[in-house]
């Protein structure tokens, strides 16, 4: 039993596994990278994705923090998704998971790949 605010609650119960569960360690036979990483609705996310491997400065603002109000993350784009950007910094070995909601803009150190076709987005 769990006590929360003076009230008693039973421990949660979970369904038992059955013999007809699939092997979760391997993807299904019809699995493909294109299916696992669909193009996002936002052009920004797609641009970040096709510029994977490029060195950038990500300018981020955390409006509810006085200590971390505005921050710049420098590094290489590792991944980009619907709600996040992952940057690695080879100088200090740090990796950063940045929520898109806090991202103001990204500054590139080299020309940006921009392709409206997106047919060569995934390798």
Domain ranges of the chain: 50-110
Give Cα separations from 28 to 18, 39, 118 (angstroms): 19, 21, 25
The whole-chain average pLDDT of the chain stands at: 78
Q: Which CATH number fits domain 50-110: 2.102.10.10, 2.160.10.10, 3.40.50.300, 2.30.30.520?
A: 2.30.30.520
Residue 109 CA to its chain's centroid (Å): 22
What are the tens digits of pLDDT across the range 66-102? 888 899 999 999 999 989 999 999 999 999 999 999 9
pLDDT of residue 36 exceeding 50: no
The residues near 2 (Cβ < 8 Å, ≥ 6 apart) are 8, 9, 10, 11
| Percent of the chain surpassing pLDDT 70 | 59
């Amino acid at each position: 039993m769990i006590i929360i605010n003076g009230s008693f609650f039973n421990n949660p119960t979970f369904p038992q596994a059955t013999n007809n569960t699939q092997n979760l360690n391997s993807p299904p036979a019809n699995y493909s990278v294109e299916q696992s990483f669909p193009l996002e609705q936002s052009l920004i996310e797609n641009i970040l994705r096709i510029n994977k491997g490029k060195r950038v400065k990500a300018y981020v603002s955390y409006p509810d923090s006085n200590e971390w109000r505005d921050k710049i993350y420098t590094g290489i784009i590792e991944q980009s998704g619907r709600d996040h950007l992952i940057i690695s910094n080879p100088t200090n070995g740090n990796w950063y998971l940045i929520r898109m909601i806090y991202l103001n803009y990204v500054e590139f150190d080299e020309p940006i790949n921009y392709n409206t076709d997106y047919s060569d987005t995934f390798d």
